[in-house]
Structure 1
């Protein structure tokens, strides 16, 4: 088993740019499909770092594998290893820490401006405001003892840290151009561009390569801090 695990939940939310980042640095990592029960065969005391990716389901859905993943995340939290969550992954970390996850009543979609709320080692490389790709209709509360880090106009809680080694994000810094286009192709019918919280498709696609490249550079800093904690 690899020492870095990337927990995924569906085919269309892979490691994406995070996988490219790890490959470029020669790190051995393994994707684990939690929805397929692959967690059950793992030695949870071995990984040195864990990333949790997104998915179209909700933490609140009555799916049997969700409780198994939450139990695994609590084990990793107890081991004090570096953890980073993306969208559903951030919500899973929030729930594992005892916080509520709820439906917002609308979908936040497209390139949304995030604002830094406080200083943090996770955010030292980031400007005060920057865009991150979004596609979600649930939001997490901030767990007890956590530090609220990021906010957007449509989602007050865009990120938090807990302790020194855990970062939960609501957005998708792992996106690639191909993944954005795949989501539009396969799930674009789920969007409602009449909602002001959802960016119109043509706006999202405008200068898409440049937007994704800039976001991946921001992600480099987040992932470098996460990996540095694991290798330090």
Structure 2
């Protein structure tokens, strides 16, 4: 990871990707079962996120598809936080002067894909959710495609 970043190779990491990038660059990641998220939830862009070329077209607060138990707790030194939620202080960051972006949420998943993902991994989430039923968990999913262009927008940003 560090070699790719040093060589200025564009990188977009989602979910585990944000955690790998953060750890590789000296940040910290924690297991946070108490605040784990599975479903469709709002995140909020901070001022840097609202002015960022990749995120600036999105509303200040928008829905995203999520499925995580771990999260970044301390950003790497050269990272700029772009978005957060009430229970997850780092939902997106970028590296200063690099084409490296990372999100805790899943821009690669739409509603249907995220529901399939939950059903596939239900036993993992069920255990972590303290007996929450599949039906209860599915109620946390919403059809929303606000961030569906994020990955193609990243490619266009890289292409210039």
Q: TM-score range by the shorter chain?
A: 0.7 to 0.9
Q: Distance in 2 between matches of 1:193 and 1:133?
A: 21
Q: Distance in 2 between matches of 1:105 and 1:182?
A: 21
Tell me the residue number matched to 2:119.
185
Consecutive aligned runs of 4 or more in structure 1 exceeding 3 Å deviation: none
Structure 1 residue runs without a partner (length 5+): 1-72
CA gap of 1:149–1:194, structure 2 versus 1, over 3 A, is farther
**Secondary structure in 2 matching 1:121:** coil
- TM-score (ref. length: structure 2): 0.81
CA gap of 1:111–1:94, structure 2 versus 1, over 3 A, is same
Kindly report which structure 2 residues correspond to 1:42-81, keeping only aligned pairs within 5 A, or say none.
Answer: 73-81=1-9
Count of residue pairs brought into register by the alignment:
149
**Superposition deviation, residue 182 in structure 1:** 2.2
Q: Which residue, out of 75, 81, 85, partners 1:148?
A: 81
CA gap of 1:98–1:109, structure 2 versus 1, over 3 A, is same
- TM-score (ref. length: structure 1): 0.58
Tell me the residue number matched to 2:91.
158
Q: CA RMSD in A?
A: 2.2
Q: For 1:102-153, what per-residue CA distance to the aligned partner results, in whole angstroms no more than 9, with x for missing partners?
A: 1124222211110011221121111010011111111112110211110011
**Superposition deviation, residue 98 in structure 1:** 1.3
Higher relative contact order (CA 8 A, sep 6+): 2
Tell me the residue number matched to 1:102.
30
**Superposition deviation, residue 168 in structure 1:** 0.9
**Secondary structure in 2 matching 1:174:** coil
Q: Distance in 1 between matches of 2:37 and 2:111?
A: 19
